[in-house]
Structure 1
């Protein structure tokens, strides 16, 4: 029996938007029902609907006689799936319409077939009419124009009055695929040669970290030596962490909130002569990925399911270097996880700031005098970043901020830490602050 991909996409988007579930949890469940390229098609549709949700809902709102509610609600998302295909995908219009209409059967409500067919055909006529009006300015509200919730747009406008539009536009782009060459096998330069030999096109290489951005994403199985641990997929912004932490031989190292383990592995690759690496994360289920990454790269670390806000797990030995990848809003990685826009709420930020403060205060006590802590988030919000670190510096006289702008030309020595925005260098939005503990 042929499985209808559009029906799976509608279920997936319904689970995220109406039931508050994570796309990274829901999508694999639906992909398990498919094989080959169908998995990629399902992912493209789900990511696209969540990326352009307000715009698609605005398209549908004018064409549906009344809002679809209750038990029929999944069909609202089926309409969004159909409109997304027509507006943004290369699928022929007739195929997009027929396959979406056919999805009403596996969704067990064939009497919705007529409505879905009528709405999508009306949308095609609307697009055709729009195409005949040159330079039509719709004057859409910002949430529809930029496809973000209004509370988040206001925050970005307040924090980045000159850059807010470019940040929101960058969040709507597909993310690039960045690679990290495993220094234990090849330098970045050597691995670039292997990519060229495999006819894999490189877009550019980050001057500081030597991270490699590909021109277009591809299956990891096509990367030279992936199964042998020669290379990993990791965003260019995340690859700055191991370099900034700058571990030395015989250091005792802690990686807090470590899952899925990319930074843990990168640190060991960079400095295989560290004395030990301990990686902790509060979610035991996420530690499976840490173990998988360590195994593929043939690296060793002590992995513990633990709460970084407590000391229950701690052996009593102080650490020379600590990487604190703090739990955050994830507002710097929206282009990789578009569901963040709809799952995150405005009042979440204050709760996260309190949690970050608790973890930072606790973990600081585990650092040796003379040791280094690198505070990291994948957020662009000042409350979680420069304001959080400024508070910490005011309250801890033994903490000194180390400037990290020397190798990063786009940082400002007057700022607290280094804020990367998602429209800069084609990397994710990340924040770094390097703290030295007084001897």
Structure 2
């Protein structure tokens, strides 16, 4: 396919996403299934156009005075990808499958000299209704943080120290451009490629099949490190999902002690079994919610780790379509879910034990305000400083920019080069 046909396809997919409220990945997969002639390079280019258009939808729509799929797709190609008007015009003229040629108004708005006053939320590519939350979280850095969340995410990997060391993995992945991550001592990063760039399929690598590394964002790795799961401890991963953090905790424990993996949604838990086998994690007991309970664990855990359900605002780089589907109603529902999870999970912490609360959100309502709520409802718990743990475990790394008075931390793409992750810690009073 030529670029003109790819632009037309991206417009078609974006129209499908908007008109039928479908997830971007599903819409792209269905397009590919119904257009078998499109090669892997074509599908990559179309996917990149779609996701970049969604990442920057507000700023591009303001620039084009239209949020229609055509407008934001053409602007993505000319502005975000820096192809320029001439290349865009050629793509539209030289391919019979391309969209219609540029109008005079479109040309004017795509000109480098075009000047437009944008609102702060549009410049940040953050939904307007959510902007006060961003200002509350980031103050004068709100636009910078929003812009960072509108960029492409790297591929981050965690070295599985049960089977390999980082130098060994880096050597095997040298052909991918893999480098040492900026903060995590076990992290490896493959930087995002611009425009038509295709990221390597790391799951096809021999090292992945052998369990030498796992796909895991650096912020997620750091949350597991800061939990300080130790050899011989009793640990409950209460919202284990597919098991990424479970495996990181098992590696920290060096397969010693007992780690329980649980999730209320058994479908989310399903992939964990294959991952445990590949990683060589032997101290994990999976608790299926359909057939077992956690009653025997009440008051017994040294550590309860909660990767709480949330809006996912911290991972907008990876799921940009979710940014525009989020509503105040769904945010309120997540806040209620988090309080339910916190209360239930706290029952399993033993006196003197600790509980770690993590979200992939940057919103205060899901983070600092939830910590304040929980402490107010549970007088037998007190806050523990996460930044103190950071200074102890990562002494050579710069401190995170966003640290609360109680010592909770917020990691972000702009400040730490990671996904947006919040980490808080509680300790249950000893009798």
Shorter-chain TM-score: what band? 0.7 to 0.9
Unpaired runs of 5+ residues, structure 1, are 68-75, 104-115
> Alpha carbons of 1:244 and 1:145: their partners in 2 closer, same or farther (altered >3 Å)?
closer
1:280 Cα offset (Å): 2.7
* 1:78-108 residue CA offsets vs partner (Å, 9 max, x unmatched): 55434422333366425642588626xxxxx
2:10 maps to: 9
User: Given that residues 157 and 189 in structure 2 are in contact (C-alpha distance below 8 angstroms), is that contact kept between their aligned partners in structure 1?
Assistant: yes
User: Given that residues 9 and 81 in structure 1 are in contact (C-alpha distance below 8 angstroms), is that contact kept between their aligned partners in structure 2?
Assistant: yes
* 1:113-140 residue CA offsets vs partner (Å, 9 max, x unmatched): xxx414x354663257x33x4xx53112
Matched, 1:378 2:360: yes
Larger mean Cα displacement after TM superposition, 159-168 or 404-413: 404-413
Matched, 1:340 2:322: yes
1:149 maps to: 127
1:430 to 387, 410, 421: 421
What CA distance in whole angstroms lies between the structure 1 residues aligned with 2:25 and 2:295? 33
2:372 maps to: 390
2:182 maps to: 206
1:426 Cα offset (Å): 0.7
What CA distance in whole angstroms lies between the structure 2 residues aligned with 1:54 and 1:215? 25
Matched, 1:313 2:299: no
1:183 maps to: 161
Matched, 1:421 2:412: yes
User: Given that residues 231 and 252 in structure 2 are in contact (C-alpha distance below 8 angstroms), is that contact kept between their aligned partners in structure 1?
Assistant: no
Mapping 1:158-177, distance limit 5 Å? 158-177=136-155
User: Given that residues 152 and 192 in structure 2 are in contact (C-alpha distance below 8 angstroms), is that contact kept between their aligned partners in structure 1?
Assistant: no
Matched, 1:21 2:13: no
User: Given that residues 51 and 147 in structure 1 are in contact (C-alpha distance below 8 angstroms), is that contact kept between their aligned partners in structure 2?
Assistant: yes
Equivalent pairs, count: 405
Query: What is the alpha-carbon root mean square deviation over aligned residues?
Result: 3.2
* 1:139-167 residue CA offsets vs partner (Å, 9 max, x unmatched): 12334333221112222113322211211
1:430 Cα offset (Å): 0.7
User: Given that residues 17 and 343 in structure 1 are in contact (C-alpha distance below 8 angstroms), is that contact kept between their aligned partners in structure 2?
Assistant: no
2:255 to 252, 257, 273: 273
1:81 maps to: 73
- After TM superposition, the score normalised by the length of structure 2 is 0.82
2:395 maps to: none
2:54 maps to: 50
- After TM superposition, the score normalised by the length of structure 1 is 0.80
> Alpha carbons of 1:127 and 1:384: their partners in 2 closer, same or farther (altered >3 Å)?
closer
2:45 maps to: 41
User: Given that residues 358 and 422 in structure 2 are in contact (C-alpha distance below 8 angstroms), is that contact kept between their aligned partners in structure 1?
Assistant: yes
1:72 maps to: none
Larger mean Cα displacement after TM superposition, 267-276 or 236-245: 267-276
What CA distance in whole angstroms lies between the structure 2 residues aligned with 1:82 and 1:99? 15
SS in 2 for 1:323: strand
What CA distance in whole angstroms lies between the structure 2 residues aligned with 1:255 and 1:165? 35
User: Given that residues 184 and 218 in structure 2 are in contact (C-alpha distance below 8 angstroms), is that contact kept between their aligned partners in structure 1?
Assistant: no
* 1:198-226 residue CA offsets vs partner (Å, 9 max, x unmatched): 47252x53345442233446313475612
SS in 2 for 1:185: coil
1:229 to 195, 208, 211: 211
Tell me which stretches of 4 or more aligned residues in structure 1 moved more than 6 Å. Answer: none
> Alpha carbons of 1:81 and 1:162: their partners in 2 closer, same or farther (altered >3 Å)?
closer
What CA distance in whole angstroms lies between the structure 2 residues aligned with 1:101 and 1:286? 44
2:196 maps to: none
1:244 Cα offset (Å): 1.7
1:253 maps to: 235
* 1:146-189 residue CA offsets vs partner (Å, 9 max, x unmatched): 32211122221133222112111111211122221110222234
What CA distance in whole angstroms lies between the structure 2 residues aligned with 1:373 and 1:354? 19
What CA distance in whole angstroms lies between the structure 2 residues aligned with 1:293 and 1:379? 25
SS in 2 for 1:138: coil
User: Given that residues 63 and 116 in structure 2 are in contact (C-alpha distance below 8 angstroms), is that contact kept between their aligned partners in structure 1?
Assistant: no
Larger mean Cα displacement after TM superposition, 286-295 or 162-171: 286-295
What CA distance in whole angstroms lies between the structure 2 residues aligned with 1:24 and 1:256? 28
Mapping 1:342-361, distance limit 5 Å? 342-361=324-343
2:304 to 322, 325, 336: 322
* 1:352-404 residue CA offsets vs partner (Å, 9 max, x unmatched): 21211111001111222232211000111111111111221122122122212
1:117 maps to: 100
